[in-house]
Amino acid sequence: MTTALFVSQLLNGLQLGVILFLVAAGLTLVFGVMDFINLAHGVQYMLGAYLVAVLTAWTGSFAAGLLLGLVGALVLGFVLEVLVFRHLTRRDHLEQVLGTFGVILIVTELVRILFGSAPLAFPTPAVFAGSVTLLPGLNYPVWRLVILVVGLAVAVLLWYLVNRTRLGMLVRAGSTHPETVSALGVDIDRLFLVVFAFGAMLAGLAGAMAGPLVSVEPTMGDRILIVAFVVVVIGGIGSIKGAFVSALVVGLVDTLGRAFAPDLLKVLVGKSAAAAAGPALSSMLIYLLMAVVLSVRPSGLFGGRSA
């Protein structure tokens, strides 16, 4: 293992963590504030990737495509909340799971009808194509560095919104004492609508950032949703700080585990056993991490009363 390889995988892990944070931040806000289990959050991630890819091709500009795509993701969040999710927020969790699973099936099939099952072309924006030399022998893609910068900027913005604005105060209060906030004259349904739509836009931004790196196809949201739930559980439900820290840890553990766990096993158990067990073990690491964290802190690393 060379230094360049290790640094490259370390940056890949941080980049994956940033993508997970963008997805998990909206998920933990919706779960923490609305007590709503939204299995369709992965669909919103997928729709963001499709919207930005299509609008970029239509306008010929990634900046315009990204802006219009995020607005489209926000609008779709409003529409889904008003038409579907608002009617599920006061139902039990089983009905929420069933209802949002139905949304997954319907939206995924609609996308498949409109665009087909084949992956949609989403090239890296020309201005961010290429790579930069970080170390001797390490040329790292510019687009992955852009993802890191965008993720950190969003994390700072979310921290400011949640902790330094009146809307953030209402969100924090609504997550623990919705009846009291409502009694003070705040429209809880409108607050929930804003939170849900903002979460949908964050998921759409994650899809737009990941689009040039992954296959943009109708089921792309299913894969990241499970890992995003792991991030939320480890970090603590309703905690943005927990989602950020947990996302980076999960991204690093998953990436470094897949890259180096098989080689480390060869030292302990031999090549043949490592070849058989290495891939399975590396894919289990984040779930083992979740089990360890929950055994020590059942409410997650930063879980509080709302958790």
Per-residue model confidence as pLDDT tens digits over 210-268: 999 998 999 999 989 999 999 999 999 888 899 999 999 999 999 998 888 777 777 77
Average pLDDT over residues 168-187: 78
Q: Which residues contact residue 24 at a Cβ distance below 8 angstroms, ignoring those fewer than 6 apart?
A: 228, 231, 232, 235, 243, 246, 247
Which tokens hold the place of 21?
């944070």
Q: In this predicted structure, which of 99-103, 110-114, 145-149, 175-179 has the lowest mean pLDDT?
A: 175-179
pLDDT of residue 187: 83
What secondary structure, in 3-state letters, does 190-209 show? HHHHHHHHHHHHHHHHHHHH
Neighbours of 273 (CB within 10 A): 12
CA distances from 120 to 5, 67, 123, 182, 217 (A): 30, 19, 10, 44, 6
Strands (E) in the chain, as ranges, are 131-135, 138-141
Q: What is the mean pLDDT of the chain?
A: 89
Please report, for residues 34, 93, 170, the alpha-carbon distance to residue 184 in angstroms, rounded to integers and kept in the order given.
Answer: 18, 27, 11
Residue 305 pLDDT level (bands cut at 50, 70, 90):
very low
The answer to whether residue 295 scores a pLDDT higher than 90 is yes
Residue 293 pLDDT more than 80? Answer: yes
Instruction: List, for residues 100-128, the tens digit of each pLDDT value.
Output: 999 999 999 999 999 999 999 899 999 99
Task: Map residue 216 onto helix, strand or coil.
Answer: strand
CA-based nearest residue to 188, from 90, 96, 73: 90
Please report the pLDDT score of residue 10 as a whole number.
95
Residue 290: is its pLDDT beyond 60?
Answer: yes
- pLDDT, average across residues 129-149: 92
Q: pLDDT tens digits, residue range 22-42?
A: 999 988 888 877 788 899 999
Instruction: Give the bridge partners for 139, in sequence order.
Output: 133
DSSP 86-128: GGTTTS-HHHHHHHHHHHHHHHHHHHHHHH-SSPBP-PPPGGG
What integer pLDDT is reported at residue 304 of this predicted model? 61
Rounded-to-integer distance, Cα 109 and Cα 251, Å: 30
Q: Which residues pair with 133 in a beta bridge?
A: 139
User: What is the reported pLDDT for 171?
Assistant: 81
Q: How far apart are CA 24 and CA 20, in angstroms?
A: 6
The pLDDT of residue 242: 92
**What are the φ and ψ backbone dihedral angles of 234, each rounded to 5 degrees?**
-65, -45
**Which of residues 305 and 245 earns the better pLDDT score?**
245
**Which stretch of DSSP H or E encloses residue 302?**
none
* Mean pLDDT across 119-144: 92
Q: In sequence order, which residues have a C-beta less than 8 Å from that of residue 292 and are 6 or more positions away?
A: none
pLDDT above 70: residue 306: no
Question: Residue 192: what pLDDT?
Answer: 85
- Tokens 């790292």 belong to residue: 140
Report how far residue 204's alpha carbon sits from residue 80's, in angstroms, rounded to the nearest whole number.
14
Q: What percent of the chain has pLDDT over 70?
A: 96
- Report residue 277's pLDDT band, with 50, 70 and 90 as the boundaries: confident
Whether 96 shows a pLDDT value over 50: the answer reads yes
